[in-house]
Amino acid sequence: MLQPLATIFQADRYPDLLVGLDPPDDAAVWRLGDGRVLVITTDFFTPVVDDPYDYGAIAAANSLSDVYAMGATPFAALTIAALPPDLDIGISQEIMRGLAEKTFEAGAVIAGGHTIQDKEPKIGLVALGFADEDHVLRKDGLQIGDRLVLTKPLGFGVTTTALKQDKASSEDVDEVVGWMTRLNRDAAQLAVRFELRAATDITGFSFLGHGWEMARASGVGLQIHSGQVPFITCAKDHARAWRFPGGAYDNRDYFSEHIAFDTLIPEEEQLLLFDPQTSGGLLLAVPPAKLNDFMAAAEAVQQPAWLVGEVIPGNRILIKR
């Protein structure tokens, strides 16, 4: 589908486009001069929860996440909205309020946007951020020996699917909404403070899918310790009941040739690592010499951080029990 872009826009014609065409990353990066860059991204999606305010807030956090994944600070955004013409105005306003208040929390301003009519609600942002050129985080910056740190637990997809099936408790919903509305701001600030090189955010392609994108771009392998990977409280219960979204199976089909699982890991726990996330955390590569200080600094600012694996030689992701 995107092949025409590659034939029309050739990277060597745009020397100030540092990231965007070759290779792709979480967001486009444009050199402004004086050591600064502009980070540009966009995202939108249909509702993943029932509450309209939460839906708007999650959409904002998710859209801003790619800015944070590049080590940038968001400053402005434009709305992208498709809303049914017969949708109650109060619901539409709550969606927009959630979107706006979460954007304001991030320190950015919504400066306009575009809305059309559609049968199913869709909401999101075009998000812009500034970063120092020397501190941009990229997918292709992994180095052998780096430790892999995850900043949010997994299991959002299987839980929101359970919600759609009326199989999720109110406690399940509160927990997953709390994580999905959490900004990746503090994690990104820590990454810049410790001068990390590589990061990505975990969204629709799943933990393993996005991990493989980093490994492939960097020409390395990954080793993941499944027992150290965090999940929200209800995720494994919903997994054992096979309440996975279709995207989990799609991710497994697409990425499984690059993944080797320990045979002792149950199938449903394997599939949880392919679970598509909405507004997931950052996957950060931390050099071993910086790991202890990084984890201590994360604890000091109450930023969750889990050590889940390391970068190894090779061209596969190995999942250990």
- Note whether 105 and 126 are same-domain residues: yes
Cα dihedral angle (142, 70, 24, 145), rounded to 10 degrees? 0
Helix (H, G, I), strand (E, B) or coil at 98: helix
- Note whether 224 and 310 are same-domain residues: yes
- Note whether 128 and 178 are same-domain residues: no
- Note whether 13 and 120 are same-domain residues: yes
Number of domains in the chain: 2
- Give the count of beta carbons closer than 10 Å to the beta carbon of residue 152: 25
Which pair of tokens denotes residue 306? 């889990």
* Domain edge (last residue) among 82, 106, 134: 134
- Note whether 121 and 152 are same-domain residues: no
Q: The CATH number of the domain where 50 resides is what?
A: 3.30.1330.10
115 contacts 149 by C-beta, under 8 angstroms? no
Which pair of tokens denotes residue 261? 């699982």
Q: Is 145 exposed, middle or buried (0-12, 13-18, 19+ CB in 10 A)?
A: middle
- Give the count of beta carbons closer than 10 Å to the beta carbon of residue 225: 16
Q: The CATH number of the domain where 229 resides is what?
A: 3.90.650.10
Q: Which amino acid is at 245?
A: P
- Note whether 128 and 149 are same-domain residues: no
179 contacts 153 by C-beta, under 8 angstroms? yes
Provide the residue range defining the domain that includes 316: 138-320
Q: What is the rounded distance in angstroms from the CA atom of residue 72 to the CA atom of residue 25? A: 14
From 203, 226, 244, 214, select the one nearest 41 (Cα to Cα). Answer: 203
- Note whether 97 and 217 are same-domain residues: no
How large is the greatest C-alpha to C-alpha distance in the chain, in angstroms?
57
pLDDT, averaged in runs of 10, over the chain (321 residues): 76 91 87 97 96 98 98 98 96 98 98 96 98 97 98 98 97 98 98 98 98 97 98 98 98 98 97 98 98 98 98 98 91
pLDDT at residue number 4: 75
Q: What is the rounded distance in angstroms from the CA atom of residue 164 to the CA atom of residue 152? A: 22
- Note whether 212 and 273 are same-domain residues: yes
Its pTM stands at: 0.96
From 228, 53, 79, 214, select the one nearest 142 (Cα to Cα). Answer: 214
- Note whether 116 and 183 are same-domain residues: no
pLDDT at residue number 1: 63
* Domain edge (last residue) among 134, 154, 180: 134
- Note whether 129 and 186 are same-domain residues: no
- Note whether 254 and 308 are same-domain residues: yes
Residue where the block lists tokens 């909405």: 278
pLDDT at residue number 6: 72
pLDDT at residue number 2: 63
